[in-house]
Amino acid sequence: MLPYPHRHLLALQGLEPPYIADLLDLAESYALLNRSGKTQRDLLKGRTLINLFFEDSTRTRTSFELAGKRLGADVINMSVSNSSVNKGETLLDTASTLNAMHCDLLVVRHAQSGAPALLSQKVDAAVINAGDGTHEHPTQALLDALTIRRRKGQLENLTVAICGDVLHSRVARSNIHLLLAMNCRVRLVGPPTLIPAEAGRLGVEVFHDMKAGLKDVDVVMMLRLQKERMAGGLVPSAREFFRFYGLDAAKLALAKPDAIVMHPGPMNRGVEIDSAIADDPVRSVIGEQVEMGVAVRMAVLDILSRNQRRNAR
Amino acid sequence: MSLTTIPDTLFVNARLVDPASGLDAPGSLLVSGGRIADHGGSLGQPDGATVIDCGGAVLAPGLVDLRAALGEPGAEYRETIESAAIAAAAGGITTVCALPDTQPALDDPALVQFLLRKGEATGSLSVLPYGAATKGCAGQELSEFGLLKEAGAIAFTDGGKAIANARTMRLALSYARAFGAFVVQHPEEPALAKGGAATEGEQATRMGLPGIPPAAEAMMVMRDIALARLTGGHVHFAHVSTAAALELIRGAKAEGLKVTCDTAPPYFDLNETAIGDFRTYAKLSPPLRREEDRLAVVAALADGTVDAIASDHQPADPDDKRLPFAQASAGGTGLATLLGITLARVHAGDLQLGTALALLTSRPAALLGIEAGRLERGAPADLVLFDLERAWKVEAGKLPGKAQNSPFDGRALEGRVLGTWKAGRRVFG
């Protein structure tokens, strides 16, 4: 296994395929370990992991917390209220506070793109981006990749449709970078108002007709549509969105017969996904995504702390 | 120190460049009583004159900067007129037009006079304040153009804010004609720019930043050209940065409308990739554009479509910039780097030296109707002496003046100011 070349995990853009494959292999082994009920509580013993969440999240925070605890780290959750987020000094003041606490691993979620990168310049800890604005959410894409690889037996040469509100999705951006690096064909499906400008220049194909976009795909990745998008006029109504861009049985029928359905959660049932699809035990892998989330985060914590140990020597 | 007590100064062994007359020749220049007394191939040395051997360096008119935020009143923690004057002198700038979107805005004659006095007090920099086009730069009611002009306002603008309402802009262009003044527009359609942090496109998409479409600039330019045609007024577009807007301005000029424009060094030296890694020092308004747009700006400098290069100096303090990108304030310093970045286009072969200097001196001076910007007998002895070849590096943290938020941090340049003179008195070097 190659030593991971960075101190932090801030983005997947630019991360070379061998490192992605290594991370997934390691995560796979943690997935097996987790299923066996065993733990490795000595690996991060005596290390401090801080979950610094400037934005509400239950799922991701819990997943990192569990990952840290299964590896034996001391895990602390810090939620910073929205009122103080707006003060820029707070972010860097927080950095000096964290340095004083001798935090080793810092998991950051922030509503602003680039906030974890800014923090990483000021803290001694290894920073893991747990979602920044509409930029990236690297561990989500890694867990999605691991889920796909387990279900499909491979990651390369698949066709993946990422559907819905791509414009505001950090999950989509990280997935685009990872899937393209692993030689998948990536399609973006959504109304023009929810597809980012010049998305085609990233190397993806863009579809505004969901039926065409889903034709013969191996993986359907749905994204959450936030209610505020309706208020902002980007989508006229939830019912119109569901009619044209919601995943239902009729649209899914155009994908390959064994195509899997993914969603990063939390879902808006009846807005971007029909309940019957979300709960379909054969097609939906949403539950497995959550399970792989813990394994992927264990692998990320492991690899970054290996780097810290190597640098300390 | 009154002007008459300054001894005469004789510059010898200079490369005299006067873009207004097309002069570019070796020679000497004599300054007497704060004004240019004579220049030519060789001049006699008057008794008691200070002699400056220029060593073949370029002696040109001091730069006339059409656009700078100077921090006063209201943002003295970012910059003061005193600190801006230090940066300007180091950059060879001897005249600067100060933006009025201050706190409070320059919408009262007393505030205009306050800025003029502050400028005089520096002894090194003429500060020509813009009057606010609308009260409080709020974009609603016109301010008192006549009284402001009498007090010394050079022209009218709302600074970094677009005059968004078409009727207000129509009235401003129309009313300004009574006082022979022009109206400066920040050409950006606010409804399209709202919340944006970078030019919409691949770069912003990758970084997950809210975008401003380049068309936001062209739309406002198109509208205001129509209003200039309607009113007969003179509209000046500031920091024009896109190919589409420049093409519209080129057309309006060909039509004979009173339409002028300036651009600023970031728009012909940098493109949007400078914001990579969330570099907030490269967050500007308008945002840095694509390479095609940068090339179009360079072409418009060369073909005369652009009337002036302004510093577009926008001081920020570290806390304004040490923020996540979308929350950081927009704008970069520009006084100390105006000449150096412009000369980079000369070294690159895109511009003749005379053309480049005209954009920094005689052309903005002609636009403003002031006597600066020329090496002419009787003209004020505002001068810059620079070595066209001398290398230096822009380093944020080590720039003259207070504000350090240069988008050019780390940029290596050729062409360094050796000395600056204001009304015959040496103020730098």
Element (H, E) at B422: strand B412-422
Residue B220 has a pLDDT of 98
Asked if the Cβ–Cβ distance from A197 to B213 is below 8 Å, we say yes
- Told to judge if B317 belongs to the known catalytic residues of this protein, a careful annotator would answer no
Residue A96 has a pLDDT of 86
CATH no., domain A138-285: 3.40.50.1370
Closest CA to B117 of B93, B144, B98, B89: B98
Give dist(CA B133, CA B179) in Å, integer.
Answer: 13
Q: Which residues contact B67 (CB under 8 A, 6 or more apart)?
A: B97, B99, B184, B238, B239, B262, B264, B310, B311, B312, B313
The token pair that represents B281 in the structure block? 């020092």
Q: Which residues contact A257 (CB under 8 A, 6 or more apart)?
A: none
| Across A198-227, average pLDDT | 96
Residue A40 has a pLDDT of 87
Partners of B287 on chain A (C-beta within 8 Å) are: none
Task: For chain B, give the number of residues.
Answer: 429
ipTM of the complex: 0.93
| A42 at B interface, C-beta within 8 A | no
Partners of B319 on chain A (C-beta within 8 Å) are: 88-89
Asked if the Cβ–Cβ distance from A88 to B207 is below 8 Å, we say no
Give dist(CA B296, CA B289) in Å, integer.
Answer: 11
Closest CA to B289 of B223, B344, B218: B218
Task: Write down the residue that tokens 């001049």 correspond to.
Answer: B43
Give dist(CA B224, CA B237) in Å, integer.
Answer: 9
The token pair that represents B250 in the structure block? 């080129």
Asked if the Cβ–Cβ distance from B319 to A13 is below 8 Å, we say no
Domains of chain B as residue ranges with CATH? 3-59+380-428 (2.30.40.10), 62-368 (3.20.20.140)
Partners of A119 on chain B (C-beta within 8 Å) are: none
Residue B91 in 3-state DSSP? coil
Asked if the Cβ–Cβ distance from B328 to A202 is below 8 Å, we say no
Whether the pLDDT of residue A56 is over 90: the answer is no
Task: Find out whether B267 and B294 touch, Cβ atoms under 8 Å.
Answer: yes
Strand order in the sheet with B235-237: B131-132, B156-157, B183-185, B235-237, B259-263, B308-309
Task: Find out whether A285 and A147 touch, Cβ atoms under 8 Å.
Answer: yes
The token pair that represents A128 in the structure block? 């893991």
- Restricting to A residues 201-260, those with a Cβ less than 8 Å away from any Cβ of B are 201-202
- Which amino acid appears at position A147 of this protein? T
| A113 at B interface, C-beta within 8 A | yes
Q: Among partner residues B201, B211, B324, which is closest to A118 by beta-carbon distance?
A: B324
Taking CA–CA distances from A13, the nearest residue in chain B reads B206
CATH no., domain A8-136+291-307: 3.40.50.1370
Task: Write down the residue that tokens 């191996």 correspond to.
Answer: A218
- Which amino acid appears at position B154 of this protein? I
* CA distances (Å), origin B286, targets B186, B188, B192: 9, 8, 12
Give dist(CA B212, CA B196) in Å, integer.
Answer: 5
Residue B383 in 3-state DSSP? strand
Print the SS3 string covering B298-355: HHHHHCCCCCEECCCECCCCHHHHCCCHHHCCCCECCCCCHHHHHHHHHHCCCCCHHH
- Show which residues on chain B lie within 8 Å of chain A, measured between beta carbons: 200-202, 204-211, 213, 277-278, 319, 322-328
Task: Find out whether B409 and B269 touch, Cβ atoms under 8 Å.
Answer: no
Give dist(CA B70, CA B85) in Å, integer.
Answer: 9
Residue A227 has a pLDDT of 78
Helices (H) and strands (E) in chain B, counts: 14, 19
Residue B6 has a pLDDT of 76
Asked if the Cβ–Cβ distance from B325 to A92 is below 8 Å, we say no
Same topology for domains A8-136+291-307 and A138-285, yes or no? yes
Residue B79 distance to chain A (closest CA, Å): 20
Kindly give the parts of chain B with pLDDT less than 50: 1-3
Whether the pLDDT of residue A88 is over 80: the answer is no
pLDDT class of A45 with cuts at 50, 70, 90:
very high
Taking CA–CA distances from A195, the nearest residue in chain B reads B205
Element (H, E) at A2: none
Ranges of beta strands (E only) in chain A are: 48-53, 74-79, 105-110, 126-132, 159-163, 185-189, 205-207, 219-222, 260-262
Residue B1 has a pLDDT of 45
- Which amino acid appears at position B157 of this protein? T
Asked if the Cβ–Cβ distance from A113 to B322 is below 8 Å, we say no
Give dist(CA A214, CA A132) in Å, integer.
Answer: 28
Residue A166 in 3-state DSSP? coil
Cα A85 from chain centre: 22
When computed from its CA atoms, the radius of gyration of chain B, rounded to whole angstroms, is: 21
Domains of chain A by residue range: 8-136+291-307, 138-285
* CA distances (Å), origin B55, targets A160, B42, B164, B418: 67, 14, 51, 11
For testing contact with chain B, the best of A91, A113, A136 (most B CBs within 10 A): A113
Taking CA–CA distances from B212, the nearest residue in chain A reads A197
Express each pLDDT in B243-257 by its tens digit: 999 999 999 999 999
Residues B129-155: b if buried by 16+ CB within 10 A, e if exposed: bbbbbbeebebeebbbbbebbebbbbb
Residue A86 has a pLDDT of 55
Residues A103-140: b if buried by 16+ CB within 10 A, e if exposed: bbbbbbbbbbbbbbbbbbebbebbbbbbbbbbbbbbbb
* CA distances (Å), origin A160, targets A145, A219, B346: 11, 5, 50
Residue A87 has a pLDDT of 56
Asked if the Cβ–Cβ distance from B208 to A170 is below 8 Å, we say yes
pLDDT class of A95 with cuts at 50, 70, 90:
confident
